[in-house]
Amino acid sequence: MDNRFNTIAGWALAGGIAALGLSIASGMYFHAERPEHMGYVIEGVEEASEGGAAVVAPIATRLASADLAKGEASFKKCMACHTINQGGANGIGPNLYGTMGEGIAQGKAGFAFSDALKAVGGSWDFDKMDAWLTNPRKFATGTKMTFAGIPDAQERANVIAYLNAQGSNLPLPAAPAAGAAPVEGNATDDHAAGGNLSNQATPAEGAPSTDPAAKAQAEKKGV
């Protein structure tokens, strides 16, 4: 009797453990949440919104809602190769302090940049940094930065805002009005100076003359 009870209890226990194991295992296999953004990007296809329309908000818009703390957290991905403190050492990649606004592939205590990145020219503005961090190899084919890129557009903006806050502090671009088309490839080095010309319209002297002809009265005196 006692023996039999133990046998039954043993099977019950074993069954319970097996069921638990199965539910954990199936949970791992079948309960994986669908990521907010899929981990791969199809060339030339922008991320689709739920409605199906392609929407990657312009970098200016994404920067306006960028989260520095999240950017700093994401920057951990970069720290295998980069320091970002002022005067930090170059590693596999160059120190990134004050990089925003600086010449692309220049300075950085003599870091040996690839010819591919040096050939890009110009300086790091928000658009270029966004393109670079989307896909380094596409931005500078042959670059030695062996980093796949950050597919999530807002995460990129967070990282760029964080980069900018480390020694650069470029003024953030004004977010375009909602619905405005994203400006692609604004590759010029405008330093946000902007000819702030005040409106110097010369005041008209005297009252503008009203057109007398318009006032011509057709005196049609009917009946």
Q: Which residues bind ligand HEC (CB under 6 A)?
A: 77-78, 80-82, 92-94, 96, 99, 104-105, 108, 113-114, 116-117, 133, 143-147, 150, 159
Minimum distance of ligand HEC from residue 199's CB (angstroms): 39
Supply φ then ψ for residue 166, to 5 degrees. -100, 75
Task: Give, in order, the Cα–Cα distances in Å from 126 to each of 26, 49, 62.
Answer: 44, 23, 11
Q: Please, which residue, 61 or 130, has the CB nearer to ligand HEC? A: 130
Closest C-alpha among 119, 115, 151 to residue 37? 151
Minimum distance of ligand HEC from residue 71's CB (angstroms): 9
Closest C-alpha among 81, 74, 12, 60 to residue 182? 60
Minimum distance of ligand HEC from residue 68's CB (angstroms): 14
Q: Please, which residue, 60 or 157, has the CB nearer to ligand HEC? A: 157
Q: Please, which residue, 60 or 124, has the CB nearer to ligand HEC? A: 124
Minimum distance of ligand HEC from residue 21's CB (angstroms): 37
Residues 157 and 61 sit within 8 Å (Cβ to Cβ): no
The two structure tokens encoding residue 168? 């650069």
CA–CA gap between residue 112 and residue 109 (Å, rounded): 9
Q: Please, which residue, 11 or 111, has the CB nearer to ligand HEC? A: 111
